[in-house]
A and B are shown apart, each in its own frame.
Chain A
Amino acid sequence: MLWVIAIMVMLTVVAAAGALALSNMVSAARADVSGSATLQIVEPDPQQRAAQAEAAQGVLAADRAVAGFRAVPEEEIAELLEPWLGTGENSEAVPLPAIIDVEMRSGVQNADYERLETALQEVAPDARIDAQSEWLAPVLSALSALKWMAFALIALLASVSAAAVWLASRNALGGNRATVEIVHLLGGSDDQIARIFQRSILIDAAVGGLLGFVAGILIISSLAAQFAALQSGMVAGGSLSAIDWLSIALVPLFAVGIAVYTARMTVLSSLRKSL
């Protein structure tokens, strides 16, 4: 009884934390990329490139869908590409593209990109603008599917836990049928008898719930420590908020509630069969 509750609470706590972290991660990633776009001008002639970049910035400054932009300095681009191109001296040999990070206004539409593209085409024929969300879209939708799977999993796990707790407290009472009958014959009222068992199940369930909760939290924090070691920006977006922690803390309380309710209903229904 105690261990069934402990194990079910532990599993549910870990699953809930995982699902919530994943869900936070997806929302953070989506918020991060949805408003961002990158403008590239691939043109070998530096003069031409600079001129097109200049003109493109003029278009961006005039467009109503653009919130802001920043031309990425050449050194930064060189740094970015260093792993592929090697350092410095032959930078002349491989022409770098001009890159402008563009921040779009929220609620940006595909039509905005199309309009922006045609406007750019006129002044900077070599410019290409890509919304980051476009190429991150498959990743995001995969993450999102994963998130929903995690939620479905915890819904499943929660109902299995509830059923396990229900069965465990029924079993715990099965062994006490004789006691129920005796106290009944000695003049105990239904409510009195139910309260005796609620109390004993409450103690078991509370201890089990606490053990499971502590074990679950230990697992979560060791996982969190391992993910934090990855130092990836995306994992950082997966940290849990106070409300998330609160809902995780509700798991053992919920388990105890089910156990006590089951104890009461089981005793009352078995008593109602007697005179």
Chain B
Amino acid sequence: MAAQIPLQNDSDFRSTGPSETEIVHFDNVGLRYGTDREVLSNISFTLFSSRFYFLTGASGAGKTSLLKLLYLAQRPSRGGIRMFGRDVITLPRDKLPAFRRRMGVVFQDFRLVDHLSAFDNVALPLRVSGVREADLREPVSDMLEWVGLAHRAEARPATLSGGEQQRVAIARAVIGRPEILIADEPTGNVDPEMAVKLMRLFEALNRLGTTVVVATHDVHLLRKVPESLIMRLSKGMLADPTGALRYPPRREGIRGAAG
């Protein structure tokens, strides 16, 4: 499973030392759906470039809700959000697509396009960014190969298993070499071996400079990435067990916890 990970630029960001560039900043953010009580309250944190973050918490704690704010699918009810150095709350609507293209998202429910093949689903972000057809065949094929779906390239999502759909969703999220990768339970439907393999892909991306945020309630997964920082949501409030949210962050975290 140590196949070459299909990411072109192999310059190692880590070798130049950890960059401490802020990439996301939440300032006292609250979110309520409709007139219900807040599902997220007083959320404040900063994410730094090239780090690997886990977001954990019980089911219903608000992980998906927080990620939705992060990938600009939802506006907060209050508070401020800064991304890539810009205040995205006051940004006009037509400026947001450019921000979304700098992110890769694995949705909890995959959200593959039903009537497109696996290949076309993975190619979608590149097409949206205006990559020429001739230039996208190879990276898309390589990426499908890497997630073990080369033989299913022409299959529609409906004919793929849950785990296969999830891998297509992941391939689609990373194909564009995003600056920040946001993954919501990306290993929920795959076997442990595939889960480890996917974490390797995320780590490889991370080493190339992508900030990674993975929401999961699978504690075993946390141990697979020793360098990761952990944010924990509990009933809509953010706890900080590893100091990930402090600056400068403590790095030891759960290192050594893996058995």
Residues B96 and A186 in contact, CB atoms below 8 Å apart:
no
Check A182 against B93 for contact (C-beta < 8 Å). no
What's the Cα separation between A272 and B92 when bound, in Å? 12
Residues of A within 8 A of B93 (CB): 272, 275
Cβ of A77 within 8 Å of any chain B Cβ, yes or no, is no
Which residues in window 88-134 of B have CB below 8 A to A? 93-94, 96-103, 105, 107, 111-115, 124-125, 128-129
> Nearest residue in A to B69 (C-beta to C-beta)?
A275
Give B169 Cβ to nearest chain A Cβ, in Å: 10
Q: Tell whether A186 pairs with B73 under 8 Å between CB atoms, given A178-B114, A275-B93.
A: no
Q: Fill in one digit per residue for B138-149: 1 if any A CB lies within 8 Å of its CB, else 0.
A: 000000000000
* 8 Å CB contact of A182 from B74, B111, B129: B111
Encode A140-180 as 1/0 by CB contact (under 8 A) with B. Answer: 00000000000000000000000000000000000000110
Give CA–CA (A106, B175) in the complex, Å.
Answer: 81
Indicate if the CB atoms of A179 and B113 lie closer than 8 Å: yes
Q: Which residues of B contact A272 (CB under 8 A)?
A: 93
Task: From known contacts A275-B72, A275-B73, infer whether A187 and B94 are also in contact, taking CB-CB under 8 Å.
Answer: no
User: How far is it, in angstroms, between the C-alpha of A131 and the C-alpha of B72 when the chains are bound?
Assistant: 81
- CB contact under 8 A between A186 and B114, given known A275-B93, A275-B96: no
A187, A192, A275: which contacts B74 (Cβ < 8 A)? A275
Taking CB atoms, residues of chain A closer than 8 Å to B100 are: 185-187
Give how many B residues have a beta carbon under 8 Å from the other chain's beta carbons.
27
A contact residues around B156 at 8 Å (CB): none
Docked-complex contact A178 and B73, CB < 8 angstroms? no
B96-A185 in contact (CB<8A): no
Q: Which residues of A contact B26 (CB under 8 A)?
A: none
Q: CB-CB < 8 A to A189: which residues of B?
A: 94, 97
Name the residue of chain A whose CB is nearest to the CB of B128. A188
Q: Does A183 lie at the interface of the complex (its beta carbon under 8 Å from any beta carbon of B)?
A: yes
Residues of A within 8 Å of B102, CB to CB, are: 187
Given known A-B contacts A178-B111, A178-B114, A182-B111, A187 and B101 have beta carbons under 8 A apart: yes
Q: Mark A24-36, 1 if CB is under 8 A from B, else 0.
A: 0000000000000
Counting CB contacts under 8 A, is A190 at the interface?
Answer: yes
Give the residue name and chain of the A residue nearest to B72 (CB). Answer: A275
Asked if residues A185 and B113 are in contact (CB atoms below 8 Å), the reply is no
Interface residues of A (CB under 8 A from B): 178-179, 181-190, 192, 272, 274-275
Q: List 12 A-B contacts (CB under 8 A).
A: A179-B115, A181-B111, A182-B112, A184-B97, A185-B71, A186-B125, A187-B100, A188-B128, A189-B94, A190-B94, A192-B128, A275-B75
